[in-house]
Amino acid sequence: MKKKEQHLLKQLMYPSSIAFWGASNNPMKMGTMQLTNVLETGYQGEVYPVHPTEETVLGIPAYRSISDVHKPVDLAQLTLPTEVVPGILDECGRAGIKRAIVISGGFKEVVGDRGKQLERQVREIAGKYGIRFLGPNCVGILNSLCSLNSTTIPRPPMGGKIAFASQSGAYTAMINPLLRAQGMKMCQTISVGNEADIDLTDCLEYLKDEPEVKAVGLYVETIRRPREFVMAARETIREKPVVAIYVGGTEAGSRSSLSHTGALSGPDKVYDGLFRQAGVIRALDLDQMLDMLWILSSQPLPAGRRMAVITNSGGPGSSLAYHIERAGLSVPLFSDELAARLDAATGPLAFVRNPIDLTFDTNMFIFKELLEIVFESGEVDGAFIYGIFGPEFMVNLEKRFPGLHEMMSDWVTDYVGFLEGLAEVPRACGKPTVVMSFMGAGSATIGPLIGLDVPVYPSAVRAAQAMRSLLDYRLARESG
């Protein structure tokens, strides 16, 4: 049997050695920031800074030229003035380097012919030596699976099961605070820039076969090879969902894309059709894309649209019911039989017909039992929970009740056990479950829950739209 050929991005994303151009001992240079981040993140491969004058860069021996390195180099990253890029890429080719990331801007995306001419030149040189490259006009890569961060952004939250390939460099890099705020992590990110060579379609083909990646996000200003994109996406969604942001579909959006990556965009409807054909779920913006990727990478797919709402507070319950229905899902009235079972399990003030509203006084540890009852009934395909609170409510009390923390230590143990049990139910029953909470990822309530792979959303509308994306994925995959 013929061994499957390694995808061209494999060597680029998992390089054993990298040569850097543009890093120096000036901390204000982009290249210096990138190399600093590579060193800080714990990358285990070899690193060769190439610099015309410095003996060392960031404490590492530097080389006058790539021809001085005399060792195999898997990847070249070029953060250089536009005009010198073709010459250096030629040197890379002569040194036998086959993969490159061209960070430099000033090519096709700028006004005038010179940039376009230079980009053509870069492509020709790459073609001559068989170099496959990302960019130009990109920000680098992140691969938590080999602890590599070649962007300027320090300390990204690395890990998790989500990958992101983007025509916006800013979005790949600046996504980090959003991820951190939600307790999410990024497994791999690829900034494709102007896509003079490697494009989003290549990224899809590559990410499809990355086993640790469970969901893929794309930021799209244009699709350069629509036919190949649709094929690659349809192949990918057999394995894992794909969510795309597209912002080229208005007049000013299109004008902006053209000046950004030289991309020719099309009207919203054209791209909606393209994504539908490809089985790709469209997200409005980065925050919604992350909301969707979170549930898509962590929860089982729903068999249908019927959702349970379990809450200990009326407002969030009503909001969830409303937004679930607005998202095209349903909140069915429970049968008498199911209501009777729930009645037996809950207090006298509870409403149990869906939403199940326990009202404030009730012990929330009952959430797990209720979730099991509604899932076992067969009357719903998924669930939303509001009302999980952890040790935070003790903040002010501790000062006046000095023994409180110890007094509550059993409760805190029970609480963690409760969360672990709760997080198991969706997997055991094969039905997706999300939590709505205003507490942040850093809180003692929500932090552990996120660690147990339960997506937590700060509003009803976001929770509902995320759940809807899970159904959309199932339907797209089935129609493929």
The residues in 24-63 that bind its own copies, with binding defined as CB under 8 A, are 27, 30, 32-33, 36-37, 39-40, 58-59
Closest separation between CB of residue 453 and its own copies, Å? Answer: 21
Task: State the number of binding residues for its own copies (CB under 8 A).
Answer: 100
Please report, for residues 308, 389, 412, 415, the alpha-carbon distance to residue 404 in angstroms, rounded to integers and kept in the order given. Answer: 35, 17, 12, 16
Closest separation between CB of residue 81 and its own copies, Å? Answer: 10
Hey, what's the torsion of the CAs at 226, 228, 230, 234, to 10 degrees? -170
Q: How far apart are CA 68 and CA 102, in angstroms?
A: 21
Q: How far apart are CA 207 and CA 306, in angstroms?
A: 32
Q: Which is nearer to its own copies, 77 or 443 (CB)?
A: 443
Q: Is 288 in the site for its own copies (CB under 8 A)?
A: yes
Which of 272, 250, 254, 270 has its CA nearest to residue 262? 254
Q: Is 109 in the site for its own copies (CB under 8 A)?
A: yes
Q: Is 281 in the site for its own copies (CB under 8 A)?
A: no
Q: Is 260 in the site for its own copies (CB under 8 A)?
A: yes
CB crowding 171-181: b at 16 or more within 10 Å, else e = bbbebbeebbe
Q: How far apart are CA 392 and CA 447, in angstroms?
A: 12
Contact mark string toward its own copies, 365..394, x via CB under 8 A: ---------------------x-----xxx
Closest separation between CB of residue 311 and its own copies, Å? Answer: 9
By the 10 Å C-beta count (0-12 exposed, 13-18 middle, 19+ buried), 197 is classed as: buried
Residues 6+ apart with CB under 8 A from 32: 22, 23, 24, 25, 26, 57, 58
Closest separation between CB of residue 119 and its own copies, Å? Answer: 14
469 three-class SS: helix
Among residues 105, 160, 217, 390, which is the contact residue for its own copies, using CB under 8 A?
105
The pair of three-digit structure tokens given for residue 47, joined into one six-digit string: 């690193």
Residues 217-236 that bind its own copies (CB under 8 A): 219, 221
Vertex 169: Cα angle to 165 and 171 (nearest 5): 75
Residues 112-151 that bind its own copies (CB under 8 A): none
Q: Is 349 in the site for its own copies (CB under 8 A)?
A: yes
Among residues 144, 151, 257, 346, which is the contact residue for its own copies, using CB under 8 A?
257
Q: Which is nearer to its own copies, 222 or 236 (CB)?
A: 222
Stretch that binds its own copies, among 4-12, 62-70, 232-240, 351-359 (CB under 8 A): 351-359
Q: How far apart are CA 194 and CA 261, in angstroms?
A: 5
Q: Which is nearer to its own copies, 109 or 205 (CB)?
A: 109
Closest separation between CB of residue 480 and its own copies, Å? Answer: 28
Q: Is 364 in the site for its own copies (CB under 8 A)?
A: no
Please count the residues of the chain.
480
Q: How far apart are CA 274 and CA 51, in angstroms?
A: 45
End-to-end CA distance of the chain: 28
Stretch that binds its own copies, among 70-78, 241-249, 415-423, 468-476 (CB under 8 A): 241-249
Among residues 121, 147, 277, 359, which is the contact residue for its own copies, using CB under 8 A?
359
Q: Is 98 in the site for its own copies (CB under 8 A)?
A: no
Among residues 47, 321, 371, 450, which is the contact residue for its own copies, using CB under 8 A?
321
Q: How far apart are CA 10 and CA 15, in angstroms?
A: 8
Residues 387-446 that bind its own copies (CB under 8 A): 392-397, 399-401, 404, 438-440, 443
Question: Strands 158-166 and 186-191, how do they pair?
Answer: parallel
